[in-house]
Amino acid sequence: MNNKIHVLYIDDEDNNLKSFRATLRKDFKIFTAIDAEEGLRIAQEEEIHVCIADQRMPGMTGTEFFEQMVKINPDPIRILLTGYSDIASVIDAINKGEVYRFIDKPWNIEQIKNSIKNAADIYFMRSELKDKNEKLKKLHSEMNQFVYSLSHELRGPLMSISGVSKLAKMEITEPHVLEYFDMIDSATLKLDDFIYKMLDFYRSTKIDNKVTKIFFKEIIDQQLEAYRTKFDLSHFKINIQINQDHKFLSDDAKIRVILNNLFSNSVQFQKQTPGEKWINLTIDVTESEAVITIEDNGIGIDDKYKTEVFSLFTRATQKNVGTGIGLYMVKEAVEQMGGRIELGSVLAEGTTIKVVLPSIV
């Protein structure tokens, strides 16, 4: 197996090509081309790690050659040979990102050796990163299938258990037996909630955003219907105000994760004492951003926990509810969309959370 660095050298002077090959063939695998056309053919057919081209060539300059080469094989690291008089072209090439570096003519053997080795290091590092990126994409796709398949496989039997429990409760009158089935219902509800949290966790941590038009009223109406099925909201006064006269582009799934977890927290972390319980949700949409504010008069958050509540598996209360991942998912989703989140809370008085999201162009 040949582990040498593969170098392509293009120059219209045949003597330069022969000298280059003779001097460097012991250290590198050398390909040479007498003009740009031959160089492009070699770059397309061979595995090239580093490409060196003279700037001044008839028909096509070195810079123009690299511009064409990028279209057929962008991977090789490019080095330009040039004289001082060509400095304007060199600067233009570097600014466009077409060349790794340039070398003055006449070139020094040690200088060009070091340049080739450094350029090859970059080539192999990029190649390794490219391979890892492909593996990550594959893993991401498999994880996507796994999460949705797992949630489906778990929820099917879970709903069967819940259904059988409800049927049994219709036929049983003994209080102590009904209590057992209530325990089953409570456990299945917690597990079902955890499955939803798992899906939300996956959606909130996805790096890519699936951008669509967002209509906040439709989202809130749909989620409120689900909340009323999931929670007993009969003791809550819920005030919702949505001001959206502008088009807003964002990731629908992540916005639902944000709203779902913020609203769930406002419901679950309420005081157990008598008195009015309220939740205020306001959404203001401008041409450039959406501001989501949710307030409640729940148990609040102690000052010592305020810097930790957005960390994974952190609970800011001893109350036995929640999974400790809700606000973490909110923060992740907000950051993935380039937004920011602000927390204000007073222990035993309530909490206000403000989320600002930019419209994704």
For 35-82, write each residue's pLDDT tens digit: 999 999 999 999 999 999 998 888 888 888 998 999 999 999 999 988
Radius of gyration of the chain (CA): 32
Indicate the pLDDT class of residue 93, thresholds 50, 70 and 90.
Answer: low
Residue with tokens 């419901």: 267
Q: Say whether pLDDT at 104 is over 70.
A: yes
Q: Does domain 5-107 have CATH number 3.90.480.20?
A: no
**Distance of alpha carbon 86 from alpha carbon 84, whole angstroms:** 5
- Those residues with Cβ within 8 angstroms of residue 300's Cβ, 6 or more apart along the chain or in another chain: 345, 346, 347, 348, 349, 350, 351
pTM (predicted TM-score):
0.58
3 state DSSP class of 176: helix
Find the mean pLDDT for residues 248-271: 91
Domain ranges of the chain: 5-107, 210-361
Separation CA 60–CA 89 (nearest Å): 13
Cα-based distances in Å from 157 to 121, 154, 181? 54, 6, 16
**Domain 210-361: which CATH class?**
alpha beta
What stretches of 172-215 show up as alpha helix (H) in DSSP? 175-205
